[in-house]
Structure formats: C-alpha cells, structure tokens
A = this chain, B = another copy of it.
Amino acid sequence: MKYNAIIVRFSSEIGIKSKPVRKKYEKLVLERIEEVMKESGINYTIEHKYGRIYIYADEPEKVIQRITKIFGIGSVSPAIRTSAIPDDIIKASIALAEGIIKDKLTFKVACRRVGEHPYTSSDIINMVGDAILRKFYGKVKVDLKNPNVEINIEIREDQAYVYVSRLNGVGGLPLGVQGKLVCLLSTGLDSPVACWYAMKRGSEIIPIHFKLSPFISEKSIEIAKRLAKKLFEWAIGIKEKKMYIVHGHGEVLEEIMEKVPRRYICVFCKRMMLRVADVIARRENAYGIVTGDILGEQASQTAENLMVISEAVRLPIYRPLFGFDKTDVEKMARNIGTYEISTSYVEPCKAVPPKPATKAKLSVIWEYENKLDINNLIKKEIDSIEIIKIK
C-alpha cells in the first residue's frame, strides 16, 4: 500500500483570523494547491473540510515539495487514506510501518477522531499498537515518551488517514491578500531575500532593478532577471509577474557625481532609487517600497545615513532584514534558491568611494540637491524604464 493522500494544514496564523478572513485565505490556498496539481498533470481530487485540505492522488510524493512552498501552508503530511473501519485502519498502519521498519525501532500510536464511531480513540490505539507489535515481533518496541516514530491516525467521519511524517510548509499568508509593494532588486544576497519576505506576508511584489552602468556592467540585468524569476517561482497563483528595469540610473548618477562630493554619492544614489521607486509604486497602486537594507551592514546603512536616505520619499520603506545578521540572510537565500544566483556574480560598484560618508547630514544633502534639477533627473530615469514580463 502506498501513499494516496496529502493532508495540508494552514499556517497557524490563519486559524486566529476572523471567520470571513479565514474563509477567504483558506480558499486562496485551496486554489493554489489546485494550480500546482493541474501543472503536475497528476489525477487528483481535493476536499476542504475540518479546517484542512485533503488531496487524493497517486504518488503524492511528486508534488509534495512544491505544495510546501505555497504561502499560507503550515505543514503537510503524506498519508494513506482508508475507510474508518478498524480492519482497514490496521491494514494501512501496518503498510505504513512496513516502509519505515528497522531494527530496534520504537514507536507510539496516536489517534484523533471526528464523528460517531463504534469505538473510542483508545481502542484504535490499542488495536493498531498490538497489530504492529505482533507483525514485527522482536523488532519494534512501544515508547510513549520518546519514540522514533509516531504513527498518527486521524479519523474523520467515515474516512481515516494514517501518516508518520509532517513536513514544514513555508508559512506566511496567502500571496495577494496584502496590498502590492515595489522592491529594489540588486544582484546581491540581501534584496531578493527582502522581496521574498514581503511575498511571504501576502504582498505581490514588483521588483525594480536599477542599471548602474558605467559603474556596474550590464550583466547585472541578466542576474536580476534570474533572481526575479526564482522569486516568482514562489508566486504560485499570481498572474502578473513583471519587473522594471531602470536603464538610465547609472547615467543620472554620472551627472550627479559631477556636482556633489564623492563621499556622499551612495546617499544620492539611494535617494534617487527611492524617488523613482516612489513614482513607479504610485503608477502601480503599490503601498510601499521594500529594500534589502540591514542596519549597519554597509556605509550607506548606518542609522544616520538610513535616516537621510529615507527622507527622500513619503511612501513607507520596508526593510524586512533590518535586524538580520549576514549569516541569517545567507541561510534564507539558500532556502529561497537565490543564493547561487547572487553569488555567481559579484561586481563591486565603481561609484562607491574609498571612504564613503557614514554620517551624512540632511542639511548638506539638501544643499547639494538644490543645485541639481531633481525632477528632471527623476524624469530621465522614468523615461528609461523597461517593463519585462517574467515567465
């Protein structure tokens, strides 16, 4: 007997939402599971009941990894589905045990029940426990406190589900339940991870990549596209997958550089990026700007400079990695799948001065910006925009 079902549990946060919100969120998760199943070409049926989703399909192992990536899913278990008749439950439990048996295995049986049955949960635990002990006599032992495996039996009316493993889902909220956000996407490790966290909490994202040539080669565009593509692999169920390339940012930076002290250039660069992102956000009905900033990671990310940089726009700037260590970001980049792409290409920006200012003063920045025609520079960048569909 093989697995023929997957039990899907929602993120625990969904369970504490109000009833209409919960209903909406659960429906979205259901639709996305259906999308994954349809893509896979596997025959399936699906049920949404008892606060869970049950997928019935042969070889559910083939889709289970993909399903754990749907935002809003807390955990999944491949299971054997059978009737609620004790003999069937015992048969399924033994079949499951057969697949994992090894010498000196300790186990325990757990049972939860919904509905009216001619037996109690304890009856089932005893029957299944006895059957396994008899079948694998001398090889296995019961250990209620610290077993190697727990054989779980969930009985729901006339159906039963037997499983041992529980894979973590990605958690979060279903993608799309929050308002859209635009995201600054470089080629580094941080910004894709920041984008991903915005998606995890339900926001569709619109990545914006700023071309920095002549300070960074144009190859950055290919890397940014690959990063966006990898991020959108998590955007199951989302139709609109696009990114912005701002081709003119490097040229505008060249112009600025002629008129401002070199040590402030990173501050001006970031202020311009945010201003352009602000314009794009308003066009796209997005509610804020996500960046990969980490407090204190780089010279442009001191508390002083972040304050001065943030002042350029009125939209909120979200920095999901604000409190992260670099090692935390690296770990998440690996999980998300962007680590290999970001590290495949590392090119320092030639605009960065040897000694960048770490404590820029807003009054000084304003003074220089007054000498620049900021609105015209924004227009130049906006005119250089290319919008790319990501497939």
Q: Which residues of A does B touch, CB under 8 Å?
A: 11-13, 171-173, 177-181, 194, 196-198, 200-203, 287-288, 294-297, 302-304, 306-307, 310-311, 314-320, 322-323, 325-327
Contacts and interface: CB of A to CB of B under 8 A. Distances in A.
A274 to B, nearest CB: 11
B307 A287 contact: yes
A326 B12 contact: yes
Given A306-B287, A316-B307, A297 B179 contact: no
B317 A179 contact: no
A323 B180 contact: no
B325 A11 contact: yes
B327 A303 contact: no
A303 B13 contact: no
A111 to B, nearest CB: 26
A163 to B, nearest CB: 21
A196 B179 CA distance: 28
A195 to B, nearest CB: 10
Nearest to A309: B316
A26 to B, nearest CB: 15
Given A287-B303, A295-B202, A171 B325 contact: yes
Contact of A178 (B13, B197, B303, B327): B303
Interface centre among A178, A181, A294, A315 (most CB of B within 10 A): A178
A196 to B, nearest CB: 8
Contacts of A317: 316
20 contacts: A172-B325, A178-B296, A178-B302, A179-B307, A180-B303, A181-B303, A196-B323, A197-B323, A200-B323, A201-B296, A201-B322, A201-B323, A202-B295, A202-B296, A203-B295, A288-B303, A295-B318, A307-B316, A319-B322, A320-B322
Contacts of A201: 294-296, 322-323
Interface centre among A194, A295, A297, A316 (most CB of B within 10 A): A295
Contacts of A323: 194, 196-198, 200-201, 320
B322 A197 contact: yes
A288 B317 CA distance: 12
Given A13-B325, A178-B303, A310-B316, 14 more contacts: A12-B326, A13-B326, A171-B327, A178-B295, A179-B304, A180-B303, A194-B323, A201-B294, A287-B303, A287-B304, A288-B307, A306-B316, A307-B316, A320-B322
A222 B152 CA distance: 44
A150 to B, nearest CB: 21
A178 B320 CA distance: 18
Nearest to A318: B322
Contacts of A172: 325
Contacts of A322: 197-198, 201, 318-320, 322
B319 A318 contact: yes
Nearest to A327: B12
A280 to B, nearest CB: 15
A161 B84 CA distance: 63
A338 to B, nearest CB: 15
Given A295-B318, A296-B202, A318-B322, A179 B302 contact: yes
A339 B288 CA distance: 31
A132 to B, nearest CB: 29
Contacts of A177: 296
Contacts of A287: 303-304, 306-307
B303 A203 contact: yes
A318 B306 CA distance: 10
